[in-house]
Structure 1
Amino acid sequence: MRTTIRLADEFYEAVREHASQEGKTVTAYIEEALRAKLAAAATPPEREPYKVVPYGGGGPRPGIDLTNNAQLEDIMDGFE
């Protein structure tokens, strides 16, 4: 696709200089910069891991085995 963009003369000269130093055309240099910008925008920012902060007693009641699903279901159903 062909398009026209308008750049300030000083900016165009800086782009042309950098492109020339890297052995690229101005078009290739601008395309590479735009691809990098789009890729960065598509990548979600890194987030801190979600942390659950308990309140109250600070954990399960004594004697409760969190790896025992049957026991947990009985407790939740009130059959303890």
Structure 2
Amino acid sequence: MRTTITIDDGLLDQVRRRAAELGQTVSQVIEDGVRTALLRREEQAEQPFRVTPFRGGRPRTAIDLDDNTALLEHMEHE
């Protein structure tokens, strides 16, 4: 599809140089750049949220919450 965009002159110069280095057209370099940026954004959105529990301003040692004995021992020492 043919379209018109406004692009910074300095950026366009960089795109032209990159296209010449790769033996591609300016359109191909721009398409690849946009495609890469969109994929990166999608990958970042898919990363799971992680919670790192801590108390007292210091990281806690790893505790197996499925091991009641180890959990009780750890709680008694605190």
Interval of TM-score (by shorter of Structure 1 and Structure 2): 0.5 to 0.7
Which 5+ residue runs of structure 2 have no aligned equivalent? 54-61, 73-78
Structure richer in strand, relative to its length? 2
d(CA) in 1 for partners of 2:8 and 2:52?
A: 46
Shift of 1:45: 3.0
**What percent identity do the matched residue pairs reach?**
28
User: Shift of residue 39 of structure 1?
Assistant: 0.9
RMSD: 3.1
* Residue aligning to 1:70: none
Consecutive unaligned residues in structure 1, runs of 5 or more: 60-80
In the superposition, the TM-score normalised over structure 1's length comes to 0.55
**Residue 34 of structure 2: aligned partner:** 34
Whichever of the two has the greater Rg, that structure is 1
